[in-house]
Amino acid sequence: MADPLASTPFRTTLRTTKVLQGPFHPLSITNLPSTPQSAFKTWYQEALDSDVREPHAMTLSTVDTSGYPDGRVLILKNLDSRGWHFAIKADSPKGQQLANNPRCALTFYWPGMARQIRVRGDCGVSAG
Ligand SMILES: Cc1cc2nc3c(=O)[nH]c(=O)nc-3n(C[C@H](O)[C@H](O)[C@H](O)COP(=O)(O)O)c2cc1C
């Protein structure tokens, strides 16, 4: 059987692709804001100031009825005391998954800052 770890041109391509190339914007955790929302807003402004492209794009992770995770990119539409807001169709796969199981996660990745933001919780559905 072929060695799955044997070197291939694509493996070499992957291992020579650059990642986490600094310099990075320093992250201060000594003066963390009092709420996740205010922390996110501070970091979002830093992403804008660092010219991160599409910093409001995020991966929404859900779970299907078989327990398999699913994920796709969405755009963040709002952030308030209730949480992070996004717009989806109720009859879409993600809408059906959330109706069945509201547990979800959001992941933002901001290249150039070497920063990811992870949010987990229960998803509530509202019109508008
Ligand atoms: C940059 C980007 C932004 C997107 N924004 C949204 C969005 O705000 N709402 C949405 O329903 N789908 C959005 N999509 C499409 C979703 O990623 C996804 O393909 C689609 O909603 C179907 O997902 P589902 O089959 O899991 O329901 C976006 C895709 C990309 C690449």
Alpha-carbon distance of 2 to 43, in angstroms, equals 46
Count of domains in the chain? 1
Query: Is residue 59 in a domain?
Result: yes
Ligand 1: residues with CB < 6 A are 57, 70, 72-75, 86-88, 92-94
Query: Tens of pLDDT along 50-97?
Result: 999 999 999 999 999 999 999 999 999 999 999 999 999 999 999 999
Query: Is residue 81 in a domain?
Result: yes
Query: Is residue 24 in a domain?
Result: no
Q: Which atom of ligand 1 has the smallest separation from the CA of 73?
A: 17
Query: Is residue 10 in a domain?
Result: no
Which residue type, as a one-letter code, is found at position 15?
Answer: R
Query: Tens of pLDDT along 8-55?
Result: 899 999 999 999 888 887 777 777 888 999 999 999 999 999 999 999
Angle at 78 between CA 46 and CA 117, to 5 degrees: 45
Query: Is residue 20 in a domain?
Result: no
- The structure's pTM equals 0.92
> How remote is the CA of residue 26 from the centroid of ligand 1, in Å?
31
Query: Is residue 65 in a domain?
Result: yes
Q: Identify the domain containing residue 44 by its residue range.
A: 40-122
Residues 6+ apart with CB under 8 A from 74: 57, 58, 59, 60, 86, 87, 88
Query: Is residue 105 in a domain?
Result: yes
Tokens 């949480």 identify what position? 83
**CATH code, domain with 86:** 2.30.110.10
